Structures are given as structure tokens and as C-alpha cells.
Structure 1
Amino acid sequence: MTDAPAHGFDTLQIHAGARPDPATGARQTPIYQTTAYVFRDADHAAALFNLQEVGFIYSRLTNPTVAVLQERIATLEGGVGAVCCSSGHAAQIMALFPLMMPGNNVVVSTRLYGGTVTQFTHTIKRFGWNAKFVDFDDLDAVKAACDDQTRAVFCEAIANPGGYITDLDAISAIADEAGVPLIVDNTSATPYLCRPIEHGATLVVHSTTKYLTGNGTVTGGCVVDSGKFDWSASDKFPSLSAPEPAYHGLKFHETFGALAFTFHGIAIGLRDLGMTMNPQAAHYTLMGTETLSLRMDRHVENAMKIAEWLENDPRVDYVTYAGLKSSPYNKRVEKICPRGAGGLFTFAVKGGYEACVKLVNSLEIFSHVANLGDTRSLIIHSASTTHRQLTEEQQIAAGAAPEVVRVSIGTENADDLIADLDQALAKATA
């Protein structure tokens, strides 16, 4: 449970969840590199396994280092609890796992990271689940896509790769009307720029690999529970409202109330799926969160300057950064992301696919990698990499057309980044 005190974001990103180590007094959260924990006695062990007492059993389920990170992210997002796991993709499955049964569907935005599109198009079908892809700017289409088998609505706050901003308030209203949770991937925005729960989201997922860690060292994921959804309002979510056979008929929502989803994520999700975050990864991410606001301000400042420069360059067809006044999503920035439109966007290079490849190969400061959210500036040609498995129609719908490159603007000197883009564009369009 995260009863957040009335502190500012800059304070919470350093202190939330963390306390001096009771054994040694260590101020930084230690890496508890252990698989198991000694029980006080047989009754203590039984109480833990019966979910009658909260504590540490086995690091597939809970770990002190990971627990600090869970509390910190939940606090920053304004949730009641969180479950960390091994990657952002794991977090998406963890979010859906308590909600879905064979035959159910999730209504999802067409503007998603390419790996998520592949996961929802192909992989989840192995569970008997289905995804309905809809343009989330078409609210009537989103509403029409929700049916009796819909169990969730899924989108990204700032969509990867294009940097498009979703109208979370409008989408959450549709999810509420359908009686299902809204799941928002907040990876590209982070809780510093956007707090989806304040806009009606039930669950928030992160690839902590990205901005939350910020240094490109470890992978991780997180599911944050708002604690605001009534899982017992209908019979749609039996995993949370009905008796659980593995715990002698315990009903998660009846027993744990607002923390039902969080407890289920640990007691069932991590127990059976095993997509656990390791304590060293949690440690790196905890250190990353301590500078999150400082980094995000610089990411936004640099992105705005570079996007404006690119928009005025004759070698560039268009730029998708929502911070630009020319963007159709610019009006949503103040409402959804009041501190800025993030550091992620795309731009189209005149000369198409081949010019994009030349551009990527000619850059010196920008790193050509399949990642985002690093302090280093990154670039990738999505159509030939992250979105390669998609059809051209899907690529265009996702904002990853063949003539487009995605940039994740880092915290370097903006003028140096512009100079690097300038010389690479000259070679790419010669």
C-alpha cells in the first residue's frame, strides 16, 4: 500500500519506498541477492503461504529490493500497488492475465510499439485471447469495438514510435461505459509527464528498461494498480471476484479490496508465470528514478529544439512531435502531458526507405539501437527493424512508414545533435 505523503515529485522519486537498511543502516537500497528467506517458525511460513501475512518467501514472488521499486513507481503513478517483472512485454501479459479467458478480447490502439502489435496480433492467440485494433482518434470506432467479450482497453499515453498523445479521458469514459479497465502503457511519458490514473486509467504498465532506468543497462517491466476498479461489479473477472481454488476458495477482491489486482499479480501471476524482475535490475532502476524529472525536462527541451529544426529542413517531409504547434496532437499536450510532449518522435526523410538507411548509417552521436529512453540519443528505422514483421499497411497505421525514422532524443548538447543530423541528412539525400 502506498499512502503517499504530500511531497513533490522530485522528493518522491528519491525517497518513496526507500528506508535505511534495518540491519546495517545502509542509506542506498541494498541488492538483496538471495533466492529465499528464513521463516520465523512453521506458523509464520503457513501464514505467508495462505496470504494471511505479507512478507518474503521466495524471490520469484517477492524481494526486498524489488519491493522498494514497486512502491516507488506506484507512488509516482498515484496507484495503490505495483508488481515489477522481467520486461515491458512481461508487464503487458501480467496486466492481461487476471482479466482474460479463452474467447475474450482486448480493444487496442493501432498506434503501438511494433513488438506490442506482434504480441497482440499473434502471441496472445495462443492463450485463446484476441485483440481488436482500432484508431483511437475515432472514438465511435473504439466504442463500437467493445462487445460482451471485451475485458480491457489498451493504449499508450505517448505512442511509440510517433509520439502521438492519446485522449485518455475520452478513452477511459468508453472503457467505463463498457465496464472494463483501461490499461495505459506509460513508458514513453513516464509519471513525470503523464499520470494516466488521473485520467481514468485502471492499470498502468511500463517498460522500466526505458526512461525510468534511463541508462540502457537492464530490462524490466511494471504493472501499477490504481485500486479504483470494482472487480466484483460483474461476472467478467472471475479471477479477481470468484473463489480461487489454489487458495482454498479465497476471493481476491473480497479479501484484499483495492489491492486485489496487486496481490493476484504476485500470488498467481509471478507464482505461475515466473516473469520475475531480478534484484540487480531493480537496483539500477531505483538509481535511475532518482534523476527522472531532471532527465525528462532535458529530454523535452532537446526534443522541442531538434523537432523545430527538422520541421524547417527541406530534406525532411514531416515531423510527428506533438510539441510542435503544427501537430494535430499539440492541443492534448497541456491536458495529458502538461510538462511536455516527451523525447520520442519520428520524421520522414525525402528519398524514402533507402535515404533512411543511409541516414542511420551516417550518424555519429546518435546510436543505432532498438531501444528508447536512454540518456544517449538513439535512432532506428522502424520499418526495417522493430516493425519489420508488420505489413506496410500496419506500419503506416502504427506511424512507422518506410520513409520514417524514429528518434529518442537524449540529454546531450542539442546543438551537437543538430549538427550530427545535418551532416547525416546531407549524405542521405545527396
Structure 2
Amino acid sequence: MKQQTEALHAGYEKDSQGTMAVPIYQTTAYEFRDVEHAANLFALRELGNIYTRLNNPTTDVFEKRFAALEEGEAALATSSGMAAIFYAIANAAEAGDNIVCASQLYGGTLTQAAHTLKRFGIEARFFDVHTPDAVEKLVDEKTKVIFFETLTNPSIDVADIDAIVAIADRHGIVTVVDNTVATPILCQPLKHGVDVVVHSASKYTTGQGLAIGGILVERKGLRDKLKANPRYPQFNEPDESYHGLVYLDVPLPPYTLRARLSLLRDLGAVVSPFNSWLFIQGIETLPIRMPVHSGNAQKVAEFLAGHPRVVKVNYPGLPNDPNHAMAMKYFKDGMCSGLLSFEVADFETARQVVDRTTIFSLVVNIGDSKSIITHPASTTHQQLSDEEMEACGVKPGLIRLSIGLEDADDLIADLKQALEG
């Protein structure tokens, strides 16, 4: 099926009532038929509902539908995008290991990688997304994950997916990619050989800023990469915490299976059924919304590029943008999503521009139907050192825009008065 059809139908078979809308199964637990049935479920001899910390019928539809959009094999929903990133990494790495990350990351992801994971004994090593060859020099026998974003937030860089994947595959290392900004409508990293895709569903997936949640999707065939791979004994050896289960001996997608039975079970960052239902509603219109976000952003970027008070515009849809060629290679029909950033002279000028806007809302979110303006240096990246900000492309005068679904002419008029007021 085409994506628009999958967005409306994938993963849902109507229940006994014939409901057209996916029901919200707002329940904590499920009754077993008898003791044998319960034992079979826990031993994976039968598949079914056990406890909503592990699975839920509404969330199951969300997971299957999102996996279909990414053309993946299976998905695991989480309580937030940050939880999805943590699970994707912690599923492969443990104390004493290292991960290789792009320097150009969302501020929260950068902090998790450089500081929080360090306290778990996992070292983060960084490379510039524009020099993927540098990854090779950072890899050793303890490297478990190579992590990057398809379209970086807020520097708006586009990664060379093929080049990074080629290095990872040469060393048998799992690649994890954050595809939140591009969404599976504009970019499908799994088709380029990426192993695991993560998303903050709080962004474009819900589309209206209604719910916090995340999701990770594994590619079809990831089992072959993990099988007998000495980097990943946790998939090849018995898990003593789950009756000696060997994840690769079970005919289920192994990466999401282990993340569910080990990490989600023990750490508990589970999405609520109601939020899963909200994400399902958002998915239904995602293929329609993303071209509008992209088209509006293109018009705004072109306006900003011609304004005398704008020092620089970061949007790969612009022909002279250094990321333009990569965007044309990896993004559907050259659409580059609704996120862009631009630089003005300094911190104080940026503050004035942000405060003068009237249609744009000053919010630390992206992917809303309503347009958002953010000053990363004073908000999302405030906790970083000057060196870390410079490395991930955040300068004092940088302003990030999440372009919504309003009329582009109104958005341009609002920015014009803010720049010239």
C-alpha cells in the first residue's frame, strides 16, 4: 500500500463491534483465560496482552502503523522521544562501551549522550556530520552504536546516510538515526540500510502539540547483523532475567523484542494508551501535512534569504544551502520539512526579533500545526558550553523556526515587521 493508505489503515483490524476508529484500551491489565494461558504468554509460547507496561492494543496499532510508514519490521512506543533514544542506545551498549554520535544533535540528545550516558559508563565520541569519514577513526571493538539525525535540529544539516551506514556495516555496528524532523513521509532511512530509527512522536506525528511520546523502529533483516556478532552478546546469549531466553532464537524482531522485555519492562518509560490514540489520529493526516509544512518553510526561507538584517539562513531547500545536494538525494521530491533556522547579528538582536513576533509563539517544541519561534542559545541549548554550542551549530544570534500550517504570506509579514520593528 502507499503511505497515505497505510496511514489510515495499517495495523488495525476492526474489533467485534466494527468500530471505524481505533478504540482506546485504557486499561492497566488483562485477564488470562487460565493459569496455562498466563504461563504461555510469559514464556512467549503465545502472543497476547500481559500488562500495559509491556503492551496494549491501542499502542500496538500505533506501533504497527508507524513501522509500516518507515517500512520497518517492528516498532516499540515509549513515553517520550528521549526515552526512545535512550532505549535504542541502551539496548546495544553497556558500561565500558562507547557510541559515536554526530556533533549536530538536538540539545537534549547531546546532553544525554555526553553527560547522562557517561554516568552509566558509556562514552560518547563525536564527529562532524559533514565529515562522515571521521567516524572510522572513532570506532573500536567497544563501539556499539553510531547515532545521528537525518535533518539536524537546530543547525538544519543533512547527513550522508549512505556514507555513515557503509562504515557502520563494515564494522558490524548498529546505526540509530533520529528521523523526527523529516518524518517517514519525507525520508525513510531504513531503506538506506539504517538499522534503527527513532522519533519524538510529540512533534510532527501528533501535529498539534497534544501529547508526549516516542517510538523506535527496527529494519527488516536486522537479525542477520546481530546473529553471532561478538559486539552484541546480549542478543546471542541467554538472558538470565527472562528465564534464559536467547532473543535471536525467538522468531520475532529481536531489537524491539529485547527493548520491550528488558528495558521497557524494567525501566518503565511506557506511553499511555490515550497518547497512542492521539498519535494514531495524527498519523492519519501526516502525509497531507508534511508537504504543506515544507512548502511554507520554503517560502519563508526564501524571504529570509533576501532580507538585509539576516546574516544566514539554514534550510536545505535553498539551492545555495550547503546541504541542498544531500536533501535532494534523501528527501522525497526535495521537500525539506518545516524546520529552519536563521542568524541575525547577535544575541540581543535575536531576542528583539523573537519578542516582536505576533503569529509565531515562543515555544520549545517543533512540528506543531501552529508556527513556533525559539532562541536555542537561551533555551534548548542553554546548558551547553560555548564549545559544545559551536560544535552543534548554535550561535548567539541563531533563531529556530518551526513553520506551521498558516498562510505563508502571514508568516512572512510577521517576520518582516519583527526584523524591521
Q: TM-score, normalised by structure 1?
A: 0.96
Partner secondary structure for residue 250 of structure 2: helix
The answer to whether structure 1 residue 359 and structure 2 residue 360 are counterparts is no
Distance 2:243 2:386 in 1: 50
Q: Are 1:124 and 1:130, in contact at CA under 8 Å, matched by a contact in 2?
A: yes
The answer to whether structure 1 residue 126 and structure 2 residue 145 are counterparts is no
Distance 1:68 1:109 in 2: 32
**Cα offset, 1:338, TM superposition:** 2.3
Cα-to-partner distance string for 1:140-166 (whole Å, 9 max, x where unaligned): 211111111100100000111122111
**Cα offset, 1:301, TM superposition:** 0.4
Match of 1:57 among 25, 34, 50: 50
- Unpaired runs of 5+ in structure 2? none
Cα-to-partner distance string for 1:243-275 (whole Å, 9 max, x where unaligned): 111222221012235x01121121112110100
Partner secondary structure for residue 108 of structure 1: strand
Q: Report what 1:4 is aligned to.
A: none
The answer to whether structure 1 residue 244 and structure 2 residue 239 are counterparts is yes
Partner secondary structure for residue 290 of structure 1: helix
**Cα offset, 1:304, TM superposition:** 0.4
Q: Report what 1:103 is aligned to.
A: 96
Instruction: Say which is worse superposed, 314-323 or 337-346, in terms of deviation.
Output: 337-346
Question: 1:7-18 counterparts in 2 under 5 A?
Answer: 7-18=1-12
Q: Are 2:185 and 2:332, in contact at CA under 8 Å, matched by a contact in 1?
A: no
Question: 1:64-83 counterparts in 2 under 5 A?
Answer: 64-83=57-76
Instruction: Say which is worse superposed, 383-392 or 228-237, in terms of deviation.
Output: 228-237
| Number of residue pairs the alignment of both structures matches | 418
Distance 2:420 2:360 in 1: 15
Q: Are 1:21 and 1:27, in contact at CA under 8 Å, matched by a contact in 2?
A: no
The answer to whether structure 1 residue 170 and structure 2 residue 163 are counterparts is yes
Q: Are 2:132 and 2:160, in contact at CA under 8 Å, matched by a contact in 1?
A: no
Distance 2:400 2:392 in 1: 12
Partner secondary structure for residue 306 of structure 1: helix
Question: 1:330-341 counterparts in 2 under 5 A?
Answer: 330-339=324-333, 340-341=335-336
Residue 301 of structure 1 aligns with an amino acid whose one-letter code is: G
Q: Between the two proteins, what is the percent identity of the paired residues? A: 44
Q: Are 2:54 and 2:264, in contact at CA under 8 Å, matched by a contact in 1?
A: yes
Distance 1:167 1:233 in 2: 28
Instruction: Say which is worse superposed, 224-233 or 59-68, in terms of deviation.
Output: 224-233
- Unpaired runs of 5+ in structure 1? 1-6
Distance 1:144 1:389 in 2: 28
Match of 1:211 among 192, 204, 207: 204
**Cα offset, 1:324, TM superposition:** 0.3
Q: Are 1:299 and 1:409, in contact at CA under 8 Å, matched by a contact in 2?
A: yes
Q: Report what 1:223 is aligned to.
A: 216
**Cα offset, 1:242, TM superposition:** 0.8
Partner secondary structure for residue 122 of structure 1: helix
Distance 2:67 2:39 in 1: 28
Partner secondary structure for residue 354 of structure 1: helix
**Cα offset, 1:402, TM superposition:** 0.6
> Aligned Cα RMSD in Å?
1.0
Q: Are 2:373 and 2:402, in contact at CA under 8 Å, matched by a contact in 1?
A: yes
Cα-to-partner distance string for 1:361-419 (whole Å, 9 max, x where unaligned): 11110010010001111010000000001112211221211110110111100000000
Q: Are 1:98 and 1:237, in contact at CA under 8 Å, matched by a contact in 2?
A: no
Q: TM-score, normalised by structure 2?
A: 0.98
Partner secondary structure for residue 234 of structure 2: helix
